[in-house]
Structure 1
Amino acid sequence: MSTTTHIEYAIPERIDRLPLSRETWRIMLLAGIAWLIESYDIGIMGNVLPLLEKQYQLNSFTVGMLATVSTLGIVLAIIPAGWLADRIGRKKILVIGTAWYAFFSLICGLAPTIPLLIVCRLIAGLGMGAVFPIPYAMAAELTSKRIRGSMTSVLDSFLSFGYFLAPLLALLLIPQLPEQWGWRVLFYIGGLPLLYVPVLVKWMPESPRWLTVKGRAEEANWIVSQLEQQIESRTGLLLPPPENSGGQPASTTSKVSLGIFSRAYFKRTMMMCISFACILFIFYAIQTYTPTVLLKEGYGISNAFLLTTIIVVASIPGKYAAAYAIERFGRKFTLISFTSIAAVSALFFGFAHNGALALSCGCVLSFFGIGVDPVIKIYGAEQYPTHMRELGIGVFEGVGRLFGGVLAPFIMAFLLASFDVAGSYVFVAVIAVIGVCVVSWLGTETRGEVLEKAANVADSSILQQSISDSHTF
């Protein structure tokens, strides 16, 4: 069968039979680099906080504001950005968001006072919020059902490289620079992604699934046809015929706006909001407060940065382990097992009183507690149909980052000031257990399913009632 006959099939069927190829890796690399440079920007604050606290004699409230204000910007932007991505496209929001946060990260380095730095971090967070949900939605919509989970895990590892880069550069640069310049240079580096924006404009494709839903079938066909032709030309082999997904083709899926809080999707939305918040709480406890905790334990600033770098880098193999587990054992099992191990390791980390034990427990906590992040992300992307996928992602990301990102650092700052490190990480473990219970109770398995099928509610009577309700209003 020649490539020209592929157009008789629906776009999802054609995507689902594409192999893991150089062309797929190129698209994922573009999305991954966008995440890497964003995660570096997010990772900056945890490493400059001790310097700012020392230089400006900051109180606990100001420290909490600096730690959380960019996340507050993410929360404010992420839902409207998701809504916009469902209307004007994934690629446009990715490009605009990347340029936005890179520019304001550069401005942060020029801030003359702490209040102005807080304002700049808030504004930069708006761009971060726009970018965050895009790469894993693109991974879900541009890769086949056989690999979308593992590809999201590999893609998410770029975040860990960025988080690792922040303490690594802090370790290398800050001891060599005057105290008043070290933190500024880290922000200047955060402005370099401005140079990456033209690359995204030229090489990142739009989601063919989104184009199809928006009635732009010719553009969607052109993108998928290019991938098909490139793969067949390079390998010298014809692609296998697309599988019949059964039922209604995805390209003609109903666009009735059921709403993410409708009866049909309410359970999924609640599960994602709660579980995402719990898992993000673990992440922010590690990413933002590990240097502070280690300094509190008396390790010294250089040792604290070194240990933090090692702990954060342990999340990278954790995400690769998740890439294997998510396709081998399923989304739900991987979520529950990784988060449970993270809860136990948080307890041990809190009670560790020597460097070797703290490092070991911190690495296990990072391996599983951050390693699970891509699993919850692709699982969330699979909960909603294409016409409202980014909005759904935006809502659970926004709610999750409000409670897991904005409130978590304030809670951790209060716990560390009022109790010892052990008490703080007992709280982290409890939060992790809550996330495990919610996924166990409300979650369903989506491994190996066509994306459009995974996103459909199982109970057709509920779906019909929701459609009827939408007509009523």
Structure 2
Amino acid sequence: MTAPTQTASYQLGHKLDSVPFSPYHMLLILVLGTVGFVEGYDLALGGSLIVLAKEPLHLGQADVRWLVAGPTFLVVIGGFTASALSDRLSRKLVMQAGVIISTFFTLLIPLAQNAEQLIVLRLITGIGMGFAIPASFPIAAELMPAQHRRTYGAIYEVMLASAFTLLPFVGYLLAGNPIGFRLIALPGGLALGVVPLLVHYAIPESPRWYLLNARPQAAVDAVNLMIRRCGNRVTALTLAELGADLSIERAALPPFRALFAPEQIRWTVIGTLSGISASVAYYTCAILLPKALVDQGTAVALSFGLSSVLFMASIPGKLFTGYLMEVIGRRWTITYALAGSLPGIALMAAAHLAGSAAAVVFVAGGLITGFTVLSAFPCTRVYLSEQFPTALRGRGHFFGESSGRLIAGVVFPLFMERYTNSPEAFFGILMVAVAIGAFVPLLFGRETVGQLESVTQETRVAAWGRRSRPAL
């Protein structure tokens, strides 16, 4: 027997894309967005913990560096591990495991009695986040109609930005409280009792994943379940229409090295690079900006307030990015978001020279930066998922995010931590990093708007052999 044919995958993809947008799609978006909110809160928690726990737990310089880079490095390790599992196991199962691990160990942070315990808890939390955070976009890319992936990307990222905005605001309220670092962890930890249940009951398995795993009846049933939940506004899918039968054998998954096959490597690299510069800006602002502002003479409470401004601006910014990516395309939107942030970063760098107006200048720069580069992710993450055929999408997205996070969230913060006391060096280096990434997708990438099976057609035959043509 043979694996599902191109016709089967195209028919299934066409049927999914033909389902009109409905309240059920919105439910999927909100549940995945809730995962993003909780995981974003836990991910960004490190920057606030560094400031709030420094005196109560007597954090030394080595402890600070562990909290800056260690959890994110474990997010990378978790992401690489999950990348090996996502295409083989259920994408939903990988997400659920990550949410449970991350929220459970965040809930234990209030019990930490010393720096070592806090570091260990944050490291284990990082593994769970590495499973959960990248899983949302492959799931959504395979469930959302093509024209509404931007809707998902925008709303998901707005919920993520809401977490990033809430966190420094809570830090502002808790500044000076000796148990502030314990209290600030509770919102992320208490989600343990809610979010895994939402994922279990609301998120279906991907019909495309079922087809890839030679389960055509399950794929048809999953599509028809979505059709019913969306109001039966299109006709049900049948096995005959799919062009498949129950005797289809499971297609052999391509090896991991297929991500770097001649037909695929360009898109793997470009999809990864498109997110690195935006991630550099995010991690620098989320992890190091409160510390940098304190080191540069700003009061602790004010540093949290100024940090919150950046992420508050990203809420409308991400909605605009989600709209723009379907109007001018993914590549031009990424260029706009990254290049458009350079004046804002420059204003933040020069704010200390403005005397009594320093806070106003910084806020102006923060609003620009938040509305642009910190709002790029609805586009960069959707763009990354669209670079891969279904047989590689789970591993490709996890690999791309994990590789970008290793550079942007581990290597770069460790490098930048030594420059937090110099606004010229701190913001100047950030400007260079963002400027480099502004034009990579535009100059070297391809546009990917459309049905997943169409945009990945040219990469469907990769290094695992031209004799086998796995479904997309």
Same fold (TM over 0.5): yes
Tell me which residue corresponds to 1:437. Answer: 439
Q: Which amino acid aligns with 1:239?
A: V
Q: Any idea what SS the aligned residue of 2:387 has?
A: coil
1:239 pairs with 2:234: yes
Tell me which residue corresponds to 2:413. Answer: 409
Name the Cα RMSD after superposition: 2.6
Q: Which amino acid aligns with 2:340?
A: I
After superposition, what is the alpha-carbon deviation per residue over 1:274-303, rounded to whole angstroms, capped at 9, x for unaligned?
A: 332222111111111222232234331222
CA distance in 2: counterparts of 1:432 and 1:314, whole angstroms: 18
**In the TM superposition, what are the counterparts of 1:46-125 in structure 2 within 5 Å?**
46-125=47-126
**In the TM superposition, what are the counterparts of 1:89-238 in structure 2 within 5 Å?**
89-175=90-176, 178-179=177-178, 181-196=179-194, 197-232=196-231, 238=233
1:389 pairs with 2:388: no
After superposition, what is the alpha-carbon deviation per residue over 1:210-266, rounded to whole angstroms, capped at 9, x for unaligned?
A: 111112222222222122223335xxxx43899xxxxx99x9997662710111111
Structure 2, gaps ≥5 residues long: 1-7, 238-242, 353-357
Measure how far apart 1:452 and its partner are. 1.4
- Counterpart contact for 1:108–1:120, Cα < 8 Å: yes
Equivalent residue pairs, number:
447
Q: Which amino acid aligns with 1:42?
A: L
Q: Any idea what SS the aligned residue of 2:113 has?
A: coil
CA distance in 2: counterparts of 1:340 and 1:18, whole angstroms: 36
Q: Any idea what SS the aligned residue of 1:35 has?
A: helix
Measure how far apart 1:13 and its partner are. 1.0
After TM superposition, which residue ranges in structure 1, 4 or more long, deviate above 6 angstroms? 251-254
CA distance in 2: counterparts of 1:14 and 1:359, whole angstroms: 47
Tell me which residue corresponds to 1:268. Answer: 267
Report the CA distance shift for 1:377/1:465 in structure 2 as closer, same or farther (over 3 A). Answer: closer
Q: Which amino acid aligns with 1:414?
A: R
Report the CA distance shift for 1:79/1:323 in structure 2 as closer, same or farther (over 3 A). Answer: same
Q: Which amino acid aligns with 1:113?
A: N
**In the TM superposition, what are the counterparts of 1:438-453 in structure 2 within 5 Å?**
438-447=440-449, 449-453=450-454
After superposition, what is the alpha-carbon deviation per residue over 1:324-373, rounded to whole angstroms, capped at 9, x for unaligned?
A: 10111100000011111123322221122200010110121111111001
- Counterpart contact for 1:82–1:133, Cα < 8 Å: no
CA distance in 2: counterparts of 1:80 and 1:388, whole angstroms: 15
TM-score by length of 2: 0.88
After superposition, what is the alpha-carbon deviation per residue over 1:416-441, rounded to whole angstroms, capped at 9, x for unaligned?
A: 24xx1122111111111221232233
Larger mean Cα displacement after TM superposition, 344-353 or 383-392: 344-353
Report the CA distance shift for 1:8/1:386 in structure 2 as closer, same or farther (over 3 A). Answer: closer
Report the CA distance shift for 1:468/1:139 in structure 2 as closer, same or farther (over 3 A). Answer: closer
- Counterpart contact for 1:170–1:186, Cα < 8 Å: yes
CA distance in 2: counterparts of 1:397 and 1:325, whole angstroms: 22
Measure how far apart 1:56 and its partner are. 4.3
Q: Which amino acid aligns with 1:312?
A: F
Report the CA distance shift for 1:352/1:83 in structure 2 as closer, same or farther (over 3 A). Answer: same
Structure 1, gaps ≥5 residues long: 1-6, 243-247
- Counterpart contact for 2:175–2:301, Cα < 8 Å: no
CA distance in 1: counterparts of 2:85 and 2:434, whole angstroms: 32
CA distance in 1: counterparts of 2:203 and 2:253, whole angstroms: 29
CA distance in 2: counterparts of 1:72 and 1:362, whole angstroms: 27
Tell me which residue corresponds to 1:3. Answer: none
CA distance in 2: counterparts of 1:173 and 1:50, whole angstroms: 11
CA distance in 1: counterparts of 2:451 and 2:169, whole angstroms: 40
Larger mean Cα displacement after TM superposition, 364-373 or 142-151: 142-151
Report the CA distance shift for 1:404/1:464 in structure 2 as closer, same or farther (over 3 A). Answer: closer
Q: Which amino acid aligns with 1:44?
A: L
CA distance in 1: counterparts of 2:282 and 2:325, whole angstroms: 19
- Counterpart contact for 2:215–2:250, Cα < 8 Å: no
1:257 pairs with 2:258: no
CA distance in 1: counterparts of 2:369 and 2:250, whole angstroms: 42
Tell me which residue corresponds to 2:3. Answer: none
CA distance in 2: counterparts of 1:469 and 1:306, whole angstroms: 59
Tell me which residue corresponds to 1:425. Answer: 427
CA distance in 2: counterparts of 1:50 and 1:97, whole angstroms: 26
Q: Any idea what SS the aligned residue of 2:340 has?
A: helix
Measure how far apart 1:19 and its partner are. 1.6
